[in-house]
Amino acid sequence: MKLNEAHVRYSAEEYDRYTAKFVRPFDEALADRVIEEVEKRPGASRLVDVGAGTARLLLYLATLPRLDQLTFIGTDLFEDMVQQGRKAIADVNLANRVRMVTTDVHAMELPDECADIIISRSTLHHWSDPVRALREIDRLLKPGGVAIIHDVRRDPSPEALAEFNRLRAMAGIGPAFLDEKFTTGEVRDLLDRAGLGTRALLGAPTEGLWALGMEVEIHKPVRDVLSSSAM
């Protein structure tokens, strides 16, 4: 995939306007999932959003009292997205908790095991080498951490797709392109090829908002102290 094909089809400003307002129901639903995972990990301190666009989802998460304990890193390949994100972060004085890094999901300039929770939304279909990208995401997870990856699927429920396209139209954004998206079977195959099949869960609801897409959970096991110590 060429670089310009990985970019969203809109300018960073247009994309920012769309995600700042029109995808709030999806932000809320994903926030509920993040809260669930944070509550299972009382010591969790850092969330990384891979392909964070202009940081609007992160800024929403950062306002939630139940996520007060977290700091946030957003990554994106494109400098225009990152700059627009930094502007949005500065506008609400959240630079002390949210930062953006320009880096490619296929070779992220972030250290091993730096994240308790990773999220990545509407990104999988943009990646030129999803197997490599999934391995990179796993590299960033701390032992005991979880990655939650959401994407639209090629065969969404017609009702969920109609609602999604209605929100896009309100923002002046054209309908979603389904041809470029994956089916759950294809994503299962990618996870297996990444060596993550046995640690990943894949869900594709048939009703409600989530019937638009799928959720992948990748779990990084906690290290077995006994087997890793010299005995």
Ligand X SMILES: C[S@@+](CC[C@H](N)C(=O)[O-])C[C@H]1O[C@@H](n2cnc3c(N)ncnc32)[C@H](O)[C@@H]1O
List residues near ligand X by CB under 6 A: 6-8, 19, 51-53, 57, 75-78, 81, 104-106, 121-123, 126-127
Give, for 20, the enclosing helix (H) or strand (E).
helix 12-21
As given in the structure block, the two tokens for residue 3 are: 């670089």
Q: Is 2 exposed, middle or buried (0-12, 13-18, 19+ CB in 10 A)?
A: exposed
Q: How far is the CB of 169 from ligand X (least distance, A)?
A: 17
| 189, containing H or E segment | helix 184-193
Which lies closer to ligand X via its Cβ, residue 57 or residue 211?
57
Taking the complex as a whole, the smallest distance from the CB of residue 225 to ligand X amounts, in Å, to 34
Nearer to ligand X, 124 or 223 (CB): 124
For the bound state, the minimum distance from the C-beta of residue 216 to ligand X, rounded and expressed in Å, comes to 14
CB of 103 to ligand X, least distance (A): 7
Between residues 81 and 187, which has the closer beta carbon with respect to ligand X?
81
CB atoms inside a 10 Å sphere around CB 33:
17
Query: Would you say 37 or 104 has its CB closer to ligand X?
Result: 104
Q: What is the DSSP string of 110-159?
A: S-TT-EEEEEEES-GGG-S-HHHHHHHHHHHEEEEEEEEEEEEBSS--HH
